[in-house]
Structure 1
Amino acid sequence: MVNANKKKYSSQFKEAAKERDRLDREIKKLIAARIKESYKGSGKKVDKNKFFLTPEAKALAADFKSNRGKLPWPVNEGFVSRKYGEMPSPIDRNVRIYSNGWRFQTPKGASARAVFSGEVDAIVKKPNGILIVYIRHGNYTSVYNNLKSVAVSKGDKVKVYDTIGEVFTNRAGVSELRFILMEDTNTLNPAYWLLKG
């Protein structure tokens, strides 16, 4: 029985890994498109790995960077249920899990909130109805994934602590925000950017 359960959970983790990889590709594709768009009208050659920044965007990015380690959590209450990087599965130590951000478990009905001032760059609706919000802070992007609903629109200017949307609660009653930070095309470990819990 134990081995059957282990196989079942290993299979579920592998499926979740495939879904995560697909989402990672979608995020990179969206960021690549936004980088290309940032060069329009600039007269500069496109660097596919870096955003073109206006003076205003440069100032915002510098301000974001100067707040490294001081950014608030993207949820008002809860705990970190998965950290950044590679780790063994809690069910099967032979299965490796990779996380490109942090997951925050929250109470049902909890809101996701902006970790810094910026502009809503994109809102993506997945086939299952889950929503993802991308907020640009110069050449930095904060990603709020696994939302039931959103309280912002593309192009909105947001400030720190502004509500982004409601975190989705699954059938098991788990509400979990998947939060990713990026600098240009690279993911960043939120441990170095967010306030210590």
Structure 2
Amino acid sequence: MPEMPTYRSTYHHGNLRVALTEAALDLARRGGPHAVTVRGAARQVGVTPTAAYRHFAEVDELRSAAKDRALMSLSEAIDGALRQVGADADPGANADPVSGADPVTAAVARVRAVADGYIAFARGRPGLFAMACHGTVEAVKALMTARVAPSMEDLSASHPGLDFALWSSVHCLAVLGIGQDQPDASADAVLDAVLAWIAGS
């Protein structure tokens, strides 16, 4: 059994809360939200549970802090996928973010990048994905919706419910993809169909 990582080398007086949050994130990475406990985080950091409880009186507080960090990781993964298609270009610039593509094709590529980044994160880091979704999925929904909103405008997707239809499809595919080693061709086909529907709406 691999040795549990410890944070003793980086812990200094005054930043125990940060160290405990990092330990909680590591616990979540390996076992999801239910693996996160105050005692477990304290053990990894190398402090007593009593010291840990001074910063996190209840496990829900620690899980909330770990959820915030997991959401940050998911956000970074999606933003990285967007950068792959040049989505960090100035939306007001004359050049299309996807070189040589018409606006609709460019918008579809950006939305697809967000979806692919979301699904890849769930597949590759299931514990962190579960942590990001812990309690309620509203935060992951808001994160994804914010990143597709400009592209949805480019697609003239102004009908109520299209954002939710996209997110619910992507989220479902992400959950179904957890534990799979390879991308699922049927998931790609579903995404293609959903994006074609949105682009044609």
**TM-score of the aligned structures, taking structure 1 as reference length:** 0.32
Structure 1 or 2: more strand by fraction: 1
Structure 1 or 2: more helix by fraction: 2
* Structure of higher RCO (CA pairs closer than 8 Å, 6+ residues apart): 1
**TM-score of the aligned structures, taking structure 2 as reference length:** 0.31
